[in-house]
């Protein structure tokens, strides 16, 4: 190997400007002996080519100031970095460490500890809250409903669901004097107060109602009738008879293709009455993490008149809960069918309670008794009957009710093949079918007989009719003839009560101008104000998160782990994530460049955030679509729901990001302040949550997490690291990369780790090689915020626009 002195003698060339650049140590050079650079030895070449720094190759060759030291201008001295400061390679001055950092003497990087302590303190506080919640709150809300409850004001039957209101038991329904109990009277008073008039029901008259989704496919045809205000109707028919379609058409959820619907005797759009109508879907769409009372109270707060005080709304809810026979489980979680806390019958009553909380004037129910045992089904039907007795027009699709329940129903609408088979009082149904030569055996439930007849299996109840005449088309024809004759008869002689009396009321009594005005006023004042709805939705979402504290801790833990893993990958770099070409005239002294480490941390950080946040982001809306559809259809403000939910994610997102940033910052110690690390990461979290929300709006619940993770990885890959952004620019595809938050995020990491070294390295070369700019981190952050916000706007639009029919 050649000696250094040989280089000095033969090859070292003077530096033509004779200066010691900032960040270099040139102890021997002066005007007489200018700084030189000498051809490096093979050993030095090897060190430089592997990004290292070798000692000066000659007496007058400058050396970049070593890490852990600083070399103040004009580079004649090299000073040990003092305690409380850190000195990366090429330091001119020591950099003061952030408060509460680990910066002993000769530090080349700072380990910022304040965020670590704050995070640990926060964690301890959160654990404390979780433990408190577990021991105090959970004890109250997670308890199973008690079997024995002290009997209070109500007459209690000895029933498996004790503490039920009398009309919710399987005692004969007719026996109850509903208006006598104080709860019912208070509820009635609430309903009256809400509507502001004595008439608390809506009536419906429908003429020749039909639904033909595609030409030639008649689902519903020629359905006519009148449902008086406060009447209790059951819609019955075989499977596929068109019951749900009828209900949807009558409510205006499905647009009818023929016929007309009059509300209170007036031709008006059903949409106008949305706030006055309650619809109980077949599935019990209730939030499992909330208690019975919380579920019902939320509905009441959103839908009751805005001039009611919260105390008044709570009173209404408590009265309603008492009437529903749910007082003893009011503070129990609802649970879900996989992990039930309350029984199926109780859950059904909660579902009905959500609608009654709004004091509706009409209540539609799609199979409220499905999935319930006979006793619970009877309870629910008893409840409906009592609700109708409050003046609320109640229309329910039911299947095979018990005899006493069947007989308690005021009116029946029987459907077959989408046509009417009977519409009128329940008491007259046997008379009607008797006239068609069917007999009702004494020992059979008349509801079963009616079901058999209308599904075309009624031959067993006839002696002389052929099978053909028992068929559904023949029953349809017979009802058509009867109904037509009846209409003529009723027009001729309204007072004649002899003979068969079904469908006596062809038109509901039109409401007066005063009543219409009361209804109009009632509609106008119903519903909480927009900001209040946002607040209630936010509050509810936070409560849900608190109840799902395990998944919250899991999310935060994943964030911390992801940060630690990425931090570990950069640990050995000791915070030096960039090495460039030295400024002229010391360019030839440069080691191999490292343009990749900073942007790779950006890439890996982006991917890790994508993995940690995307599945959590999908859950925000993905798990609750049914609830949203139900509430939107019931008139809850859709945007308030969305904003409340988005606001509720900010807390968990921030905490998750904090843990991620702390672990990453402590291990990778980049040349960025903790504030910059946190801000960049938080904005990227914000984008990923927004992106995942968009995915959740258009995918099925089970597919959402996988697609969101995939999408987040693609966004991360489009971060401009591989393929490099400089290459992408050559393809004229930068616009595509710039649409991804990944590119902006990586650029922040590049800028923050590179820009402070501007005095030492030629940054334009680094910028040209990587394709990233190094002077626009504020713009990068603003654009990340903008992209995250655009994602949220898209998600909100998708929420409102996708499956619109379910929101009607």
Name the residues that contact ligand ATP, by CB under 6 A: 213, 219, 237, 239-245
- Cβ 249 to ligand ATP, closest distance in Å? 9
By beta-carbon proximity to ligand ATP, the closer residue of 240 and 473 is 240
- Cβ 281 to ligand ATP, closest distance in Å? 12
DSSP for 58-85? STT--EEPPTTEE--TTTT--EEPPTTE
- Cβ 245 to ligand ATP, closest distance in Å? 3
By beta-carbon proximity to ligand ATP, the closer residue of 248 and 669 is 248
By beta-carbon proximity to ligand ATP, the closer residue of 240 and 531 is 240
By beta-carbon proximity to ligand ATP, the closer residue of 110 and 245 is 245
- Cβ 243 to ligand ATP, closest distance in Å? 4
Which 8-state DSSP code applies to residue 34? -
- Give ∠ CA 291-292-295 in degrees, rounded to 5: 85
- Cβ 379 to ligand ATP, closest distance in Å? 22
- Cβ 255 to ligand ATP, closest distance in Å? 10
By beta-carbon proximity to ligand ATP, the closer residue of 235 and 390 is 235
DSSP for 185-246? HHHHHHHHHHHTSS-----EEEEEEEE-SBTTB-SEEEEEEEE-TT-EEEEEESTTSSHHHH
- Cβ 240 to ligand ATP, closest distance in Å? 4
By beta-carbon proximity to ligand ATP, the closer residue of 219 and 290 is 219
Tell me if 270 sits within 8 A of 263, measured CB to CB: yes
By beta-carbon proximity to ligand ATP, the closer residue of 263 and 414 is 414
Distances (CA, A) of 557 to 126, 449, 659: 13, 61, 8
Tell me the C-alpha distance between 674 and 111, whole Å: 10
Tell me the C-alpha distance between 585 and 13, whole Å: 12
Q: Dihedrals φ, ψ of 434, to 5°? A: -60, -40
Specify the 3-state DSSP secondary structure of 23. coil
By beta-carbon proximity to ligand ATP, the closer residue of 217 and 267 is 217
List own/partner pairs for 772-779 with CB under 8 A and 24 or more apart. Answer: 772/599, 772/720, 772/725, 772/746, 772/747, 773/747, 774/750, 775/751, 776/747, 776/751, 777/676, 777/747, 777/748, 777/751, 777/752
Tell me if 570 sits within 8 A of 639, measured CB to CB: no
By beta-carbon proximity to ligand ATP, the closer residue of 242 and 575 is 242
- Cβ 334 to ligand ATP, closest distance in Å? 25
By beta-carbon proximity to ligand ATP, the closer residue of 414 and 618 is 414
Tell me the C-alpha distance between 62 and 34, whole Å: 10
Specify the 3-state DSSP secondary structure of 305. strand
- Cβ 448 to ligand ATP, closest distance in Å? 16
- Cβ 236 to ligand ATP, closest distance in Å? 9
Tell me if 601 sits within 8 A of 681, measured CB to CB: no
Tell me the C-alpha distance between 237 and 223, whole Å: 14
By beta-carbon proximity to ligand ATP, the closer residue of 237 and 719 is 237
By beta-carbon proximity to ligand ATP, the closer residue of 281 and 559 is 281
Tell how far CA 178 is from the center of its chain: 40
- Cβ 367 to ligand ATP, closest distance in Å? 7
> Which residue blocks in 390-471 are alpha helix, DSSP H?
403-408, 429-435, 446-454, 467-470
By beta-carbon proximity to ligand ATP, the closer residue of 239 and 307 is 239
Tell me the C-alpha distance between 674 and 295, whole Å: 42
Tokens 């530096």 appear where? 15
- Cβ 366 to ligand ATP, closest distance in Å? 8
DSSP for 791-803? HHHHHHHHHHHTT
Tokens of 441: 């055996």
Question: Residue 40: which region, alpha, beta or left (left: phi > 0; alpha: psi -120 to 50)?
Answer: beta
Tell me the C-alpha distance between 319 and 325, whole Å: 10
By beta-carbon proximity to ligand ATP, the closer residue of 139 and 255 is 255
- Cβ 394 to ligand ATP, closest distance in Å? 18
By beta-carbon proximity to ligand ATP, the closer residue of 245 and 696 is 245
- Cβ 217 to ligand ATP, closest distance in Å? 6
Q: What is the dihedral of CA 399, 402, 408, 409, to 10 degrees?
A: 10
- Cβ 660 to ligand ATP, closest distance in Å? 47
Tell me the C-alpha distance between 671 and 374, whole Å: 71
């Amino acid at each position: 190997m050649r000696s250094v002195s040989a280089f000095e003698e033969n090859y070292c060339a003077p530096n033509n400007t004779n200066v010691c650049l900032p960040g270099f140590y040139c102890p021997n050079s002066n005007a007489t002996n200018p700084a030189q650079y000498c051809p490096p030895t093979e050993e030095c070449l090897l060190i430089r080519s592997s990004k290292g720094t070798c000692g000066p190759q000659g007496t007058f060759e400058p050396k970049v100031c070593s890490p852990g030291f600083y070399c103040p201008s004009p580079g004649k001295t090299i000073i040990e970095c003092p305690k409380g400061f850190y000195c990366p390679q090429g330091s001119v001055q020591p950099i003061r460490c952030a408060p509460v950092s680990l910066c002993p003497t000769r530090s080349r990087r700072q380990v910022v500890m304040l965020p670590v302590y704050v995070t640990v303190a926060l964690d301890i506080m959160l654990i404390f809250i979780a433990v408190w919640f577990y021991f105090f709150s959970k004890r109250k809300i997670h308890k199973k409903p008690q079997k024995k409850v002290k009997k209070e004001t109500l007459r209690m039957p000895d029933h498996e669901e004790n503490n039920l209101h009398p009309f919710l038991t399987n005692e004969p329904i007719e026996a109850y004097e509903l208006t006598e109990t104080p709860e019912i009277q208070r509820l009635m008073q609430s309903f009256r107060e809400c509507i502001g008039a004595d008439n608390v029901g809506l009536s419906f008259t429908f003429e020749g109602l039909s639904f033909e989704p595609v030409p030639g496919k008649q689902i519903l045809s020629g359905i006519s009738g009148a449902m008086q205000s406060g009447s209790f109707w059951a819609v019955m028919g075989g499977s596929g008879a068109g019951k749900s379609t009828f209900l949807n058409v009558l409510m205006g959820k499905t647009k009818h293709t023929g016929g007309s619907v009059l509300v209170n005797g007036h031709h008006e759009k059903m949409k106008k009455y949305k706030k006055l109508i309650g619809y109980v879907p077949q599935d019990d769409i209730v939030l499992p993490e909330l208690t019975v009372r919380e579920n019902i109270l939320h509905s009441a707060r959103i839908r009751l008149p805005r001039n009611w005080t919260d105390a008044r709304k709570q009173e209404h809810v408590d009265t309603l809960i008492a009437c529903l026979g749910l007082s003893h489980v009011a503070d129990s979680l609802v649970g879900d069918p996989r992990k039930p806390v309350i029984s199926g019958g109780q859950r059904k009553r909660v579902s009905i309670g959500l609608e009654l909380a709004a004091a509706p004037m009409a209540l539609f129910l799609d199979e409220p008794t499905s999935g319930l045992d006979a006793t619970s089904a009877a309870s629910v039907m008893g409840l409906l009957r009592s609700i109708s007795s409050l003046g609320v027009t109640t229309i329910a699709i039911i299947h095979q009710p018990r005899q006493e329940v069947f007989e308690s129903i005021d009116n029946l609408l029987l459907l077959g093949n989408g046509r009417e088979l009977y519409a009128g009082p329940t008491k007259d149904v046997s008379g009607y079918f008797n006239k068609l030569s069917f007999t009702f055996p004494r020992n059979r439930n008349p509801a079963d007989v009616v079901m058999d007849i209308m599904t075309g299996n009624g031959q067993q109840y006839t002696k002389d009719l052929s099978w053909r005449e028992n068929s559904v088309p023949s029953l349809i024809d017979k009802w058509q003839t009867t109904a037509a004759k009846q209409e003529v008869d009723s027009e001729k002689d309204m007072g004649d009560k002899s003979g068969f009396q079904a469908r006596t009321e062809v038109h509901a009594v039109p409401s007066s101008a005063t009543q219409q005005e009361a209804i109009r006023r009632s509609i106008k004042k119903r519903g909480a104000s927009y900001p209040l709805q946002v607040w209630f939705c936010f509050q509810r979402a936070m409560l849900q998160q608190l109840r799902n504290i395990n998944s919250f801790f899991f999310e935060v833990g994943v964030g911390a782990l992801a940060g630690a893993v990425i931090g570990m990958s950069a640990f050995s770099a000791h915070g030096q994530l960039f090495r460039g070409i030295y400024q002229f005239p010391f360019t030839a002294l440069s080691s191999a460049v490292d343009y990749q480490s900073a942007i790779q941390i950006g890439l890996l950080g982006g991917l890790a955030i994508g993995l940690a946040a995307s599945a959590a982001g999908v859950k925000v809306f993905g798990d609750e679509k049914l609830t949203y559809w139900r509430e939107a259809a019931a008139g809850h403000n859709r945007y308030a729901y969305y904003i409340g939910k988005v606001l509720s994610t900010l807390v968990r997102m921030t905490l998750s990001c904090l843990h991620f940033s702390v672990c990453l910052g402590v291990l990778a110690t980049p040349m960025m302040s903790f504030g910059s690390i946190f801000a960049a990461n938080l904005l990227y979290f914000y984008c990923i949550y927004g992106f995942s929300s968009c995915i959740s709006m258009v995918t099925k619940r089970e597919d959402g997490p996988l697609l969101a993770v995939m999408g987040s990885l693609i966004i991360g890959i489009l971060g401009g690291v591989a393929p490099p952004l400089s290459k992408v620019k050559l393809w004229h595809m930068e616009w595509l990369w710039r649409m991804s938050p990944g590119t902006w995020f990586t650029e922040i990491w590049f800028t923050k780790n590179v820009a402070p070294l501007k005095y030492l390295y030629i940054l334009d070369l680094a910028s040209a090689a990587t394709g990233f700019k190094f002077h626009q981190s504020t713009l990068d952050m603003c654009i990340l915020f903008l992209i995250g916000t655009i994602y949220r706007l898209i998600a909100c639009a998708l929420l409102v626009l996708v499956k619109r029919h379910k929101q009607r």
